[in-house]
């Protein structure tokens, strides 16, 4: 999926690229067709597909998550700075959505230096998705 990390983190991964920091930051590069999830699934003969939905209205997000979490996995792509207010520069980030209860979404965050489970409001996730933009992969990636 195009994972690229700084040289000092190479030892943490089995198969990884290192090099100059990409414009979009370190991590996967699933926005490029060659590194897309669907390309990864096809190449590895995994019978899954990814479909993207760009929703920013909290009410629509809530309905979408309730419907799709029943039998699908959902990844959310958003602007990290906008959601967590911890980064100097805006960058894309993804997390797995574990569940939604009332207006609170539980995310599973793959970043190694932060809590794995993070709770955010529908309003917060909505703003972070909108800030990242559909053109940058922002939104929901449904895996089925």
Q: pLDDT tens-digit profile of 89-100?
A: 678 899 999 999
As a whole number, mean pLDDT of residues 80-90 equals 78
What are the structural domains of the chain?
1-46 (no CATH), 49-144 (3.90.70.30)
Whole-number pLDDT of residue 59: 96
Q: What percent of the chain has pLDDT over 70?
A: 97
Residues whose CB is less than 8 angstroms from the CB of residue 67 and which lie 6 or more positions away in sequence, other chains included: none
Q: Is the pLDDT of residue 51 over 70?
A: yes
Q: Which two tokens stand for residue 107?
A: 């995310």
Between these two residues, 15 and 125, which has the higher pLDDT value? 125
DSSP 40: H
- Note the pLDDT of residue 34: 85
Interval 62-75: pLDDT, tens: 999 999 999 999 99
**CB atoms near residue 19 (< 10 Å):** 9
Q: CA 18 to CA 3: how far, in whole Å?
A: 8
């Amino acid at each position: 999926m195009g994972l690229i990390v700084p040289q000092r983190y190479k030892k943490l991964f089995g198969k990884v690229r290192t090099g100059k920091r990409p414009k979009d930051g370190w991590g996967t590069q699933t926005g490029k067709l060659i590194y897309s999830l669907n390309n990864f699934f096809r190449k590895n003969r995994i019978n899954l597909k990814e479909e993207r939905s760009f929703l920013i209205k909290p009410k629509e997000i809530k309905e979408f998550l309730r419907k799709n979490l029943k039998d699908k996995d959902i990844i959310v792509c958003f602007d990290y700075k906008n959601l967590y207010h911890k980064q100097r520069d805006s960058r894309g980030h993804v997390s797995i959505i574990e569940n939604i209860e009332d207006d609170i979404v539980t995310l599973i965050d793959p970043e190694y230096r932060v809590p794995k489970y993070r709770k955010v409001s529908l309003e917060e996730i909505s703003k972070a998705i909108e800030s990242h933009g559909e053109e940058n992969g922002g939104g929901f990636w449904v895996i089925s």
